[in-house]
Structure 1
């Protein structure tokens, strides 16, 4: 069972994974040792799965990856539902995320490739050929405005005119 202090630690780490244990300890009113122990236990229980950074790749002189969200209609298998086909899909290295959805489509697959053609080939040659996949609809990401709660925008500069006597 995870206590309230552990939940508070998780919320802090999720918002800023770079905070050190001392700062987290002050925020949740625990000792540094208690915070470290709690984090270690959460990692061992696979509650904390990974640590990552949100990067604005558009600001770097490197080739940006092409990201697509693919809506997938699936015929679930008796006894295993969507889990079996989901496992086949998430094992592809191109797949960055996979979600079971309600609505018109069953699965939402986030795929990353070097080019639109590479991503399209993945959909046509690998994803749509899976027996349980009935149909796909691909949406290419054109621009990122916000990701994981982080807004991708330059800070506003002060546009006031300096007036001096």
Structure 2
């Protein structure tokens, strides 16, 4: 992969809606080259998709509950953690799944309508898998920053001015 391709990926990761014209100027290449490179990166499954970061707390819909579940598993001979990871990521509730170092093996991020829906997922689907030894569930209480985007409006400083 060339340096220009890495730069293009960095630009798209920060702003997926950036126009090809702007990218071309920033990278000092032609628009046609940008378009061709993006199409190739999408075809090669290097660019997997584009998404918006939404502050759902500001939208008039019922918010979802997000939980991170630490999962300890017994890896299977010959396939390691991949087989159990695949079984877990196929559940519709699972938004992200990571192999981790440390006390737990997998970190699963799920969303549900209620805490009880998440509890049911853990007790009825996740912990019943043969390889799963234990789980620890952490509920997200407030989102401050996600993918480099800060979620708090801090325009005004409401502190009282103190002077000598």
- TM (norm. structure 2) is 0.95
- Deviation, 1:68, is 0.1
Match of 1:162 in 2: none
Output aligned runs, 1:7-156, within 5 Å.
Answer: 7-156=6-155
3-state SS of paired residue (1:72): strand
- The whole-number CA distance in structure 1 between the counterparts of 2:15 and 2:156 is 25
- TM (norm. structure 1) is 0.94
3-state SS of paired residue (2:9): helix
Can you list the C-alpha shifts for 1:29-62, whole angstroms capped at 9, x where unaligned? Answer: 1100000000000000000001000000000110
- Deviation, 1:157, is 3.0
- The whole-number CA distance in structure 1 between the counterparts of 2:40 and 2:102 is 37
- Deviation, 1:155, is 4.1
After superposition, the Cα gap between the structure-2 partners of 1:132 and 1:158, relative to the gap in structure 1 and judged at 3 Å, is closer
3-state SS of paired residue (1:67): strand
- Deviation, 1:158, is 6.7
Q: Which runs of 5+ in 1 are unaligned?
A: 160-165
- Deviation, 1:18, is 0.8
Can you list the C-alpha shifts for 1:99-131, whole angstroms capped at 9, x where unaligned? Answer: 000000000000000110001100000000000
- The whole-number CA distance in structure 2 between the counterparts of 1:20 and 1:83 is 37
- The whole-number CA distance in structure 2 between the counterparts of 1:150 and 1:113 is 23
- The whole-number CA distance in structure 2 between the counterparts of 1:88 and 1:112 is 17
Q: Which runs of 5+ in 2 are unaligned?
A: 159-164
